[in-house]
Structure 1
């Protein structure tokens, strides 16, 4: 039982729940764009990234992460490599 609780604690630390505002935005994205919601959020994040808008990039990255953690991780790695907002 203790091992299970420890594992759950590690999962929560490694994968924190999105902020309520981001989760709400992700749900709205999904309602509007369906299965393509994460891709749309990624595109918005990329647009903000290339415009140099750091806060909007982070917002959309968070929405993307709430919808598709892997897609967001790839986007964040690419952004980090290019030395832009991140």
Structure 2
């Protein structure tokens, strides 16, 4: 399984599924499938999504589950 943070990046940037889908040339449903983990992207699609957000592909996709945002903030001393 490939884990991703697409929904997190979309929410942070205020981007709809449709906007992202249009930008990378897929159907909005594909973005939903990716976010839920029901579909693994091709390398080309993963690279397009990473380029859209201007981040390294490893920031968006991983073979291991990502740490939660709350845990990351707590570990870095930035949490409430």
Q: What TM-score comes out, normalization by structure 1 length? A: 0.28
Q: Which has the higher strand share?
A: 2
- Higher relative contact order, structure no. (Cα contacts within 8 Å, ≥ 6 residues apart): 2
TM-score, normalisation: structure 2: 0.30
Based on CA coordinates, which of the two structures has the bigger radius of gyration? 1
The structure richer in helix per residue is 1
